[in-house]
Structure 1
Amino acid sequence: SWEWNFGDNTAYDYTELPTHTFPETPSVYTVSLVVTDENSCKSTTSRNITIQDKYWIYIPNSFTPDFDQINDKFCISYNGIREETFNFIVYDRVSTVVYSTTNIYDLDCNNGWDGKHQTTGEDLPMGMYVYEIYFQDFEGWKHQDYGNIYIIR
């Protein structure tokens, strides 16, 4: 007989070749199998199965900080990013840093960048800015990218 425990609090499976779908939540599951032969001798083995998120990130190319409650803040959406590795820098057209953060939550859609100069607090003029982003995904791959952000007032 076979007794499969998939380590995710689901019912045991007693078939020889089961199929199982794990939750999509990233985690490590210990899968164990107990095999009992016709003489009631048991053998047990187990393996760890790691479920990882695929990373993705969406960085918009413009926002309109004009206080109309529509697209007023620059925010990103993401999944599968190791937050402690995040670094985001915005430069003006003469390569001066106007905004930077290492806290990914500063740019989530509950917060967001308001288009103000990080040091002076003044509204930045309408125009194009360049961003630089660094992060690692959960698999340890390092990512670096550059792009444009347009402030439209």
Structure 2
Amino acid sequence: MLVCLLITPIAQAGTYRWVDENGQTHFGDRPPANTAADEMTLKATTPSPDEAVRQRKQRMNEFLEQTEQERSERNKAEAEQQAKATKHAARCQALRARLKFLKSVSGIYRLNSEGERVFVDDEENERLRREFRARVQSECDI
């Protein structure tokens, strides 16, 4: 805290310019006692970066933008893959449930053009069960 109090007057101190008896111009933070001096306001200038620094900064910004774009694309691809895996898992769960139901029923039927149930014979019944079981195995790796 004491440091702040000491720095404030220095920062607020003016800059003075005067010309001595030999015609030389001088600058100082206090006006001379026996000569008239003008108080000046100095503006701090920002150092201009040289070309190498500017190019290095530009390359760094390009690198950061490219890295962010790659990260965004990678996250998008991972999200799409996760959504696809979730959809596949739900489909397999439904197929397994249908397979379990198919094992529990004694006969399979089709609906005819009039909407009536027509049961298939034992040979076709077994063939349909095998085909469905093979489909579940190929799609769901069970």
- TM bucket (normalised to shorter chain) is under 0.3
Larger radius of gyration: 2
Identify, as 1 or 2, the structure richer in strand.
1
Identify, as 1 or 2, the structure richer in helix.
2
Structure having greater relative contact order (Cα 8 Å, sep ≥ 6): 1
Query: TM-score scaled by structure 2?
Result: 0.20
